[in-house]
Amino acid sequence: MTSPPEEIIVECPNCKRWYEAWHRPSINRLIDNFSDEFIEKASTAICPYCNCKAALGIWLTNSVEQITIRVPQARFRRKSDRPLYALTLDHIDPTCRLSIMEVIRSITNLGLSDVKELLEHLPQILIEDRDQKKLESLKTTLEAAGAQVTIDYSSNQ
């Protein structure tokens, strides 16, 4: 049986921005006579920001013996699923480095050398969580210490 279309949220593999699209995870050509053009449209998404075409993957049955599985190249999730948010450390005020390191250590339980390494390669995701309010609280704490942080959809959906 052909699966119904699903509304999804896709991360563009090129520009890493999230956008809405639709997808059919499976099509059975023994039951539904969809054209190749429709199958291509049902199993890919085009980023509205950079026009990158991303394969979403599909399970395609042409006959009893012939099944084709196309592997997805883009990350995506159902629109109805709760999103996973990421707290990203973008920049720090060098004069506040020690206080920011203390806050990061208390939030992440990382060791001192790991925190130093993290600060040398910004931006870095500090925490991923489904609770956006929890991340907002941590963002406020980090900003008070002198860091610039953002909260966005996680790339690890």
The letter for the amino acid at 51 is N
Q: How far apart are CA 30 and CA 25, in angstroms?
A: 16
Share of the chain above pLDDT 90, in %: 38
Q: How far apart are CA 106 and CA 142, in angstroms?
A: 11
pLDDT digits (tens, 9 = 90+) for 89-121: 999 999 999 999 999 999 888 899 999 999 999
pLDDT for res 108: 87
Name the β-bridge partners of 87: 127, 151
Lowest-pLDDT range, 36-50, 63-77, 119-133? 63-77
In the predicted structure, residue 61 carries a pLDDT above the cut 60: yes
Q: How far apart are CA 87 and CA 136, in angstroms?
A: 8
pLDDT for res 1: 64
pLDDT for res 60: 86
CB contact set of 59 (below 8 Å; sequence gap of 6+): 25, 26, 27, 67, 68, 69
In the predicted structure, residue 156 carries a pLDDT above the cut 60: no
Q: Are 73 and 142 in contact (CB under 8 A)?
A: no
pLDDT for res 132: 80
Closest CA to 86 of 130, 143, 41: 130
pLDDT digits (tens, 9 = 90+) for 5-46: 888 988 888 888 888 999 988 988 888 888 889 888 889 999
Q: Are 2 and 26 in contact (CB under 8 A)?
A: yes
- The model's confidence at residue 157, banded by pLDDT at 50, 70 and 90, is very low
